[in-house]
């Protein structure tokens, strides 16, 4: 059997999940609530995306190579509520969660603008958890950029009071090139 898949995704979801502590015991796993489709507009956007995909499959050129659309079942192609159930039942994560301790300029942000955890000495978060919102693509390159900038901030802060020569991150990676 030959076939292909059309992958759809919501680039700017409005739904927000949360990560909370289960207990005071650091060995206990956290409670993670993804809350996918908590905001009705996210589900509506995905239903519209499925309908657009089905419309694409139904173009003359695509009909020449597609024998059957297997899923969603053809009986539900025009039923928005059935398509919404299809979306809820078949949606998957792409494992790019962000923002569980977002940085920001206000006191209610977990991190300050230097990635330091407010109220905790000598602790920073230098990964996608610090992003205030999700990027519209893969999180890999932004995390690499953040790690670079975060390491520079740590080095600058650590050596700002000493007269030692500071070894810069860019000196360490000058021969590395990233290809995307």
The set of catalytic residues is: 96
Residue 103 pairs in a beta bridge with: 111
- The answer to whether 152 and 126 are in contact (CB under 8 A) is no
Residue 38's nearest CA partner among 18, 11, 8 is: 18
Question: Which two three-digit tokens encode residue 73?
Answer: 């079942």
Residue 47's nearest CA partner among 12, 92, 78 is: 78
Residue 100's nearest CA partner among 127, 136, 140 is: 127
């Amino acid at each position: 059997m030959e076939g292909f898949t059309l992958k759809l995704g919501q680039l700017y979801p409005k739904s927000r999940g949360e990560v909370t502590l289960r207990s005071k015991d650091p060995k206990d796993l956290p409670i993670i609530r993804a809350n996918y489709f908590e905001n009705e507009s996210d589900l509506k956007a995905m239903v519209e995306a499925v309908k657009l995909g089905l419309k694409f499959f139904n173009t003359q050129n695509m009909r020449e190579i597609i024998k059957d659309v297997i899923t969603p079942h053809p009986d539900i192609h025009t039923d928005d509520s059935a398509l919404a159930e299809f979306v809820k039942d078949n949606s998957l994560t792409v494992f790019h969660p962000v923002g569980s301790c977002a940085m920001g300029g206000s006191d209610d942000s977990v991190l300050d603008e230097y990635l330091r955890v407010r109220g905790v000495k000598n602790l920073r978060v230098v990964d996608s958890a610090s992003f205030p919102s999700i990027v519209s693509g893969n999180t890999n390159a932004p995390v690499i950029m953040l790690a670079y900038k975060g390491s520079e901030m740590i080095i600058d802060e650590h050596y700002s009071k000493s007269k030692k020569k500071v070894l810069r991150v860019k000196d360490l990676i000058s021969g590395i090139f990233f290809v995307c």
